């Protein structure tokens, strides 16, 4: 099977009201995490899919994170690992559930035509605490980082309509030496490798937030040498 969009999901922001239990997850929170399937074409703008909202624009959304994508192949693993949870597409808060775009097989800067739009991979996804709270699995965020089954973000280079079943057609691969699996390894598992952090931070197509975080990590070595 070629690379395709298995499903797309959007959601408005909603306020979650506590149920009154003493559980760690039972707190008030505001989120756009509860994605719902969208049937038919959907307009993909430079800021994301029409009808999709982010609760905290400081850390979600924006040009570099306009579309959250998650490989559909990963769902078999999570359903086997956490069988009490029936994870539907969109369970990881993604807008695009994909097939054929694994972290080990796609790279920073990969540019795809899908439907009328053109999108570019900007960074692997770093899941936040909302994933754990949504599914009431306290270490789920840590499990995602540990396994490398993170998904990734697209920036939008050309807006247009997209729909379930559209194919991803690779237009350009400017950074073939930077698969997302390697980026995840450097970010999460090779924290002491400051030379790798510096090298990755200089990849032009990498999202700005990752560039800043990796550059700060690499620069810490210089500060230590001065003291």
Per the structure, the complete domain to which residue 49 belongs is given by 4-175
Can you give the pTM of this predicted structure? 0.94
Q: What is the full DSSP assignment across 158-210?
A: E-EEE-TTPBPEEEE-S-TT-BHHHHHIIIII-TT-HHHHHHHHT-TTS-HHH
CB 109 within 8 A of CB 202: no
What's the pLDDT score for residue 60? 76
Asked, for residue 117, whether it belongs to a domain, the answer is yes
On whether residue 18 sits in a domain, the answer given is yes
- Please report whether residue 85 resides in a domain: yes
Residue 75's H or E segment, with its range, is: helix 75-81
- The answer to whether residue 187 sits within a structural domain is no
Element (H, E) at 218: helix 208-226
Mean pLDDT of 99-117: 98
Q: Which pLDDT score, from 0 to 100, does residue 119 have?
A: 98
Question: How many domains is the chain partitioned into structurally?
Answer: 1
Q: What is the DSSP string of 14-53?
A: EEEPP-S---TT-S-EEES---EE--S-EEEETTEETT--
Q: What is the rounded distance in angstroms from the CA atom of residue 31 to the CA atom of residue 8? A: 18
* Residue 224 confidence (pLDDT): 52
Mean pLDDT across the chain, nearest whole number? 94
Let me know the angle formed at the C-alpha of 96 by 94 and 99, rounded to the nearest 5 degrees: 115
Report the pLDDT value the prediction gives residue 227, as an integer from 0 to 100. 45
Domain CATH for 91: 2.40.33.20
In a domain, 188, yes or no: no
More confident residue, 169 or 2: 169
Q: Is residue 12 domain-resident?
A: yes
Would residue 63 count as lying in a domain?
A: yes
% the chain with pLDDT above 90: 89
Q: What's the whole-number mean pLDDT along residues 63-80?
A: 97
Q: Is residue 189 part of a domain?
A: no
């Amino acid at each position: 099977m070629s690379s395709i969009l298995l499903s797309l999901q959007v959601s408005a922001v909603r306020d979650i009201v506590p149920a009154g239990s003493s559980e760690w997850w039972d707190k008030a929170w505001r989120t756009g995490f509860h994605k719902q399937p969208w049937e038919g074409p959907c307009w993909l703008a430079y800021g994301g899919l029409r009808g999709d909202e982010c609760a905290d624009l400081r850390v979600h959304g924006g040009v570099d994170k306009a579309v959250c994508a998650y490989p559909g192949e990963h769902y078999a693993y999570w359903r086997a690992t956490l069988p009490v949870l029936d994870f539907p597409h969109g369970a990881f808060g993604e807008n695009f559930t994909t097939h054929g775009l694994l972290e080990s097989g796609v790279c920073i800067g990969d540019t795809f035509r899908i439907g009328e739009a053109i999108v570019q991979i900007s960074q692997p996804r770093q899941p936040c605490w909302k994933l754990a709270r949504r599914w009431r699995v306290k270490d789920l965020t840590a499990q995602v980082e540990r396994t490398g089954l993170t998904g990734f973000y697209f920036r939008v280079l050309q807006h247009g309509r997209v729909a379930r079943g559209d194919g991803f057609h690779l237009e350009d691969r400017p950074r073939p030496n930077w698969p997302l699996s390697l980026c995840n390894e450097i970010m999460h598992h090779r924290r002491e490798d400051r030379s790798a952090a510096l090298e990755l931070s200089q990849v032009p197509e990498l999202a700005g937030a990752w560039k800043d975080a990796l550059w700060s990590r690499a620069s810490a070595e210089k500060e230590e040498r001065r003291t």
